[in-house]
Structure 1
Amino acid sequence: MELWIILMLFGAGFLGGLANAIAGGATLITFPAMLASGLPPVIANASNALAVLPGALMAAWADRGKLPGWSRGFAMLLVSALLGGAFGGVLLMLTSDSVFSLLVPALIGFATLVFAFGKRIQGMVRGLADGSETLRIGLIFPAAAYGGYFGAGLGVMLMAVLAITGHEELRQANAIKNVASTVANLTAVVVFVVMGLIAWPQTLVMLVGAACGGFSGGKLIAVLPAQAVRSTIIVIGCAMTLIYAWRAWF
């Protein structure tokens, strides 16, 4: 790899880790960087999934004390997330680079909208099907499948599912979301590794950057305004949507 690519991947990973620690939305920064490094779209997406995975693992571990007690419903929720993540990973593996290139603008645009309006979405759907365990398990699967296929916006989608079907307080719902998201992403990454879809040099550089950014974000969270970080990520997401739409569709 050329030096500028190494610096770009490390910098994108750092900014993504920083963003995730403060406001979320890392993939809107890191995935375009993987593409800019010259990787084919499918390989770039799979490699990005592995590069940002440690952040999800750390978030799940940090909130483990807020998880509900072990139950059949919680176990089935995680099984649904596992199967959904695997399905999304296999679906990505079966998608050609030419088709995925056409989907990239829509995926980034959708993820940007979900990230931008996530809190409103959660508020609008809260309690619509309160207490429906079967519906919760059923909805987790397509959300996790989307996460295994692309990833950006998965956390908001899972929080919306939990808001529709449950009555947990915010911290507990967030802890459940972190575990379900980690299970889905980890399962997809296993598929990517087994099928040889990971570009290891680029992934490792970005992974180190993301770890440094996540650590720095933990220190800066009291100083940097979360809304300013969110707004910056939304602007980046909109810009990337327009750029890739122009390249792929026009």
Structure 2
Amino acid sequence: MTPLQFLLLVAAGVGAGLTGSIAGLASLISYPALLASGIPPVTANVTNTVALVLNSVGSVSASRPELSGQGRRLLRLSAGALLGGAAGAALLLLTPSGAFERIVPWMIAGASVALLVQRPPRDLAAAGARAHPSHRDPWWLPLATSAIAVYGGYFGAAAGVMMLALFLLVTGEGLARGNALKNLVLGLANAVAAAAFVVLTPVAWSAALPLAVGLFVGGRLGPPVVRRAPQAALRRVIAVAGLGLAAHLAVQAYG
């Protein structure tokens, strides 16, 4: 890997970390950056998942105030996240490379459309606060968390979108606390999937390292951005870019 490629992957990681904090679509930047480095699709996805662990570390380390008082909730949700992440990793390892390459454009397109049609997170948080003023979680929340974690372990684009929407609507927490909860729970799903990949399949470590460094920095910067950024406009830009990427990957996969 050349020094220029190394720096480009660091920059892509920073952008992916910020994008993940704003819209839950970190893979929209990090995955194609790995493809552009010449890494095959499945290996790129595996490497991306391994690198994303540091994005979660950065985000969680910057979100400790928002996580205060959520210890019991995190214990209940962590088991579901770990099981779901492991199942998603197993599903990826069982998917033939050619099939995965054809599936990815649809997943990215679906994630982008979900981002476009989803209500703004602050609206979701307000709706959740009205519906659950006591902040008592429904019994099925760990099951729903586990289902999203399966997708997160498999590919992950928009897993953050779905998990944030879930937490905002059913916990009654505000955006900052819900986003911090999402960062930690989804980080656990990524971590167990990454551990399985490290043991069971090749990882492009020369690309994972610079990407992980950038993701850590982007993850650290993300929570303050979430608190202040004009999220609606940024989410639309990210979603439109995602649709363009999906079209490009579809042409490559089906052309």
Query: Which TM-score tier does this pair reach, normalised by the shorter chain?
Result: 0.7 to 0.9
Pairwise CA distance, 1:14: 3.1
Partner of 1:93: 93
**Which whole-Å CA distance do the structure 1 matches of 2:92 and 2:201 have between them?**
13
**Which whole-Å CA distance do the structure 1 matches of 2:113 and 2:240 have between them?**
11
- Structure 2 unpaired stretches of 5+: none
**Which whole-Å CA distance do the structure 2 matches of 1:196 and 1:62 have between them?**
31
Partner of 1:59: 59
**Which whole-Å CA distance do the structure 1 matches of 2:224 and 2:125 have between them?**
33
**Which whole-Å CA distance do the structure 2 matches of 1:219 and 1:125 have between them?**
20
Alignment of 1:193-232 (within 5 A): 193-214=198-219, 226-232=231-237
**Which whole-Å CA distance do the structure 1 matches of 2:247 and 2:170 have between them?**
35
Structure 1 residues 181 and 226 mapped into 2: Cα distance closer, same or farther (>3 Å)? same
Pairwise CA distance, 1:104: 0.9
Q: Deviations over 1:57-110 (max 9, x none)?
A: 222232233333433x54221100110011111111111211100101011112
Matched, 1:70 2:71: yes
- Structure 1 unpaired stretches of 5+: none
The count of residues paired between Structure 1 and Structure 2 equals 249
* 1:66/1:175 contact within 8 Å kept: yes
Q: TM-score, normalised by structure 2?
A: 0.82
Q: TM-score, normalised by structure 1?
A: 0.84
The one-letter code sitting in structure 1 at the alignment partner of 2:77 is L
Aligned counterpart in structure 2 of residue 134 of structure 1, from 133, 139, 146: 139
- Identical columns (%): 35
**Which whole-Å CA distance do the structure 2 matches of 1:70 and 1:216 have between them?**
24
Pairwise CA distance, 1:185: 0.9
**Which whole-Å CA distance do the structure 2 matches of 1:177 and 1:133 have between them?**
17
Alignment of 1:11-160 (within 5 A): 11-20=11-20, 24-67=24-67, 68-71=69-72, 74-120=74-120, 123=124, 126=127, 133-160=138-165
Aligned counterpart in structure 2 of residue 162 of structure 1, from 164, 167, 182: 167
* 1:135/1:165 contact within 8 Å kept: no
* 2:10/2:211 contact within 8 Å kept: yes
The one-letter code sitting in structure 2 at the alignment partner of 1:135 is W
Structure 1 residues 156 and 223 mapped into 2: Cα distance closer, same or farther (>3 Å)? closer
Structure 1 residues 244 and 4 mapped into 2: Cα distance closer, same or farther (>3 Å)? same
* 2:58/2:216 contact within 8 Å kept: no
Q: Give 3-state SS (helix, strand or coil) of 1:151's partner.
A: coil
The one-letter code sitting in structure 2 at the alignment partner of 1:33 is A
**Superposition CA RMSD, Å:** 3.2
**Which whole-Å CA distance do the structure 1 matches of 2:127 and 2:208 have between them?**
37
* 2:11/2:214 contact within 8 Å kept: yes
Pairwise CA distance, 1:148: 0.7
